[in-house]
Amino acid sequence: MPPLGLIQQQYEQVLQIIQTRQLSALFQPIATLKEGRAYGFEGLIRGPAGHELHSPIQLFQAAERCGLLAELDIACRKAIIRAFVNSGLPGKLFLNVCPSSLTLPGFRSGATLEYLKSVDLEPQRIVIELTETQAIHDYKLLAEAIRHYRQMGFKIALDDLGEGFSGLRLWSELKPDFVKIDKYFIQGIHLDAQKRQFVRSLQHIALGTHTKVIAEGIETTDELEVISRMGIHFAQGYLFARPQARPDPQISVPQLERENLSHLQQSMALSLLQPLPAASSKDSHNKLWQRFQSQPDLRAIAVIDNDLPIGLVKRNAILELLARPYGRELFGERSCVLHMDTQPLIIESNTSLTELARLMTSCEHHQLDDGFIITEQGRYLGMGTGRELIRAMTELQLAAARHANPLTGLPGNVPIQQTMSRLLAEQLDFVVVYADLDHFKPYNDVYGYARGDELLQLLGQLLQEYCDPKVDFIGHIGGDDFILLLRSNDWQSRCEQLLETFRLRIRDFFTPEAIQNTGYEAPNRQGKLQSHPLVSLSLGAARVVAREHASHHEVASLASHAKSMAKRQPGNALFIERRQKNDGVYLQSKDWEVDSAIYPSH
């Protein structure tokens, strides 16, 4: 414990800072990645410039030692609110509050609300951000204080989740609207598989508890790309802006990542959203009938309870019900839940269009016509229709065609990268196979480019023949380089059959003499005869565990390594990467091996 003299000195210092209003506020934006703008601003407090208590950590530690924590806490809130109003900043204000100050005897409930009224700021714009700097002993009392804040219209956030004493327990006990993941787990996340797994687990919990996640400490576009693929829609960090006394209300989300995020959203159910008002379980059949009458194109209306969808009322069902003899008299003023579909198709906004199409085709025909409910973290957003799904799928197919290789018609580099990113974002494991022809250049020189193109088209056809179009993807990088993204359970058998078929079919591209000699001679550029082996096919395969890879760049690098190993083998060969990742790094070369599926070129 510090000497009494020091405590008395700090008591006088803290008290003077509070009484003379020597506190200043800085603001850092919290970005919403969906819209590329500031969702709100976190208010950060500072003591007097040049003072030993300028740092908020030192200031609050001194206040706690002196018994002035509650007084300092309310003074900080007033300073931040006052500066926020004077700055005219948009969105929500994230207001830091020490949880222990809410349970102190000197704490006065309602003081924050009174001050908000005096500066004409609505409590709905305030998010109480609980900063856990010390252990919490009375959860019941804290929960009661938070309940009072919620009743007044405030939202609740937990700060620095993963760093404090009892973050997960606070999450469970207080049921916050937001959780902010500590910057330790965000910085370098694109290089650390364990960090990605930790954050992914928190995001999974958040989806189940209807909590919004904010990633703190983002400083690079690589970090931003990873968290956006995980479905985290809120971010904060130096990449957007540093804390400032008067920040720019307009922020800039890096253009490259906005484009990547935009593409991901275009291939998700969110792109089909129609934000139609939902009905309440208290609404009558007559009320919904009036809506259907006024909106002839409306096929169905979602019914929600506390923002959660519980059913779907369909146009035909209501019109048929009320058209029956005495139907309006019997049911007109009764709750619409009596005749709603209690098992409509409900999908999350980040569901891929491919998965949605699969779900829709497995539904009854009338469900395709009536549409489906779109939610975000379980809460109702709006509706989507089968017609819009068909349109979107058609546009995706056309977009893929625009990026197709003109020789083989297979998707090119852009769709390849997009498909890799989608599989990683959806946490779908797969096998990447790099297919490359050996000794293809001399074949082109000797037999001509027209014959070489025919050989490439044959390979493209064989790849399609031995892949399952329902789950596998084939891309043509260019030249004699192809990429396969396989999710077939029997992918290895397919690759082995492909090699055997290629070995037989390649004979059609050489003279009988070349086949017999397993090669041919041709003059090189200097006019001297040079021996060349027959063209063969190398396949380099590697298993991709989605949670271990941050981007399509990592997958491409893994595939390139596997291909180079396959090409070390003579003739037609399949190499399978056997190494495993450990803490985000591959084990040494002794831990991988060439697969036994080696096929002689003759």
Evaluate whether 71 touches 18 at the Cβ level (below 8 Å): yes
pTM score of the predicted model:
0.55
User: Is residue 582 very low, low, confident or very high in pLDDT (cuts 50, 70, 90)?
Assistant: very low
C-alpha separations of 423 from 18, 72, 207, 487 in Å: 54, 50, 19, 10
pLDDT band at 5 (very low <50, low <70, confident <90, very high): low
Which of 352-361, 543-552, 560-569 has the highest average model confidence (pLDDT)? 560-569
Amino acid letter, 601:
S
Confidence at residue 581, expressed as pLDDT on a 0 to 100 scale: 56
Residue 139 confidence class, pLDDT cut points 50, 70, 90: confident
Q: Is the pLDDT of residue 261 over 60?
A: no
CA 465 to chain CA centroid, Å, is 33
58 backbone dihedrals φ, ψ, rounded to 5°: -65, -40
Q: For 247-315, what is the HEC assignment? A: CCCCCCCCHHHHHHHHHHHHCEHHHHCECCCCEECCCEHHHHHHHHHHCCCCCEEEEEECCEEEEEEEH
When pLDDT is cut at 50, 70 and 90, the band that residue 78 belongs to is very high
Cβ atoms < 10 Å from Cβ of 102: 22
| Section 507-516 average pLDDT | 91
Summarize pLDDT for 149-174 with one digit per residue, the tens. Answer: 888 899 999 987 765 546 788 888 88
DSSP letters of 126-165?
EEEEE---S----HHHHHHHHHHHHHTT-EEEEEEETTSS
373's CB contacts (< 8 A; 6+ apart) are 302, 309, 312, 344, 345, 346, 347, 380, 383, 384
pLDDT at 602: 36
- Is the pLDDT at 424 greater than 70? The verdict is yes
* 172 close to 138: Cβ distance less than 8 angstroms: no
pLDDT at site 401: 65
Residue 254 CA to chain centroid, in angstroms?
A: 16
> Domains of the chain (ranges plus CATH)?
4-176 (3.20.20.450), 272-391 (3.10.580.10), 404-599 (3.30.70.270)
Which has the minimum average pLDDT: 132-141, 223-232, 255-264, 471-480? Answer: 255-264
Reply yes or no on whether the pLDDT at 584 is more than 80: no
Return d(Cα 331, Cα 318) in angstroms, integer. 10
- Read off the pLDDT of each residue in 302-306 and give the average, rounded to a whole number: 92
Gyration radius from the chain CA atoms:
31
Weakest mean pLDDT among 159-173, 311-325, 451-465, 554-568:
159-173
> CB of 561 within 8 A of CB of 540?
yes
pLDDT digits (tens, 9 = 90+) for 55-71: 888 998 898 888 888 88
- Residue 476 predicted with pLDDT over 60: yes
**For 228-248, what is the mean pLDDT?**
89
- How much is the pLDDT for 110? 72
Lowest-confidence region among 63-72, 99-108, 203-212, 435-444: 99-108
Q: How far apart are CA 512 and CA 602, in angstroms?
A: 12
pLDDT (average), residues 180-197: 86
Contacts of 400 (CB under 8 A, 6+ apart): 411, 415
Please work out, in degrees rounded to the nearest 5, the angle formed at the alpha carbon of residue 178 by the alpha carbons of 175 and 182: 110
Which of 585, 542, 538 has its CA nearest to residue 561? 542
Q: What percent of the chain has pLDDT over 70?
A: 87
The per-residue pLDDT for 164 is 53
Average pLDDT over the chain, rounded to an integer = 84
Q: What is the pLDDT of residue 507?
A: 93
| Residue given tokens 């209306």 in the structure block | 301
What pLDDT score does 525 carry? 66
Judged by DSSP in three states, 477 sits in: strand
Confidence of residue 365 (pLDDT cuts 50, 70, 90): low
State how far the Cα of 58 lies from the Cα of 499, in Å rounded to an integer: 69
Instruction: Please give the Cα distance from 22 to 405 (Å, whole number).
Output: 66
- Length of the chain, in residues: 602
Instruction: Decide if 551 contacts 224 (C-beta within 8 A).
Output: no
Rounded distance, CA 379 to CA 200, Å?
20
Which comes out higher in pLDDT, residue 382 or 141?
382
Average pLDDT score over residue span 342-353:
84
Q: pLDDT tens digits for 518-531? A: 999 877 667 788 88
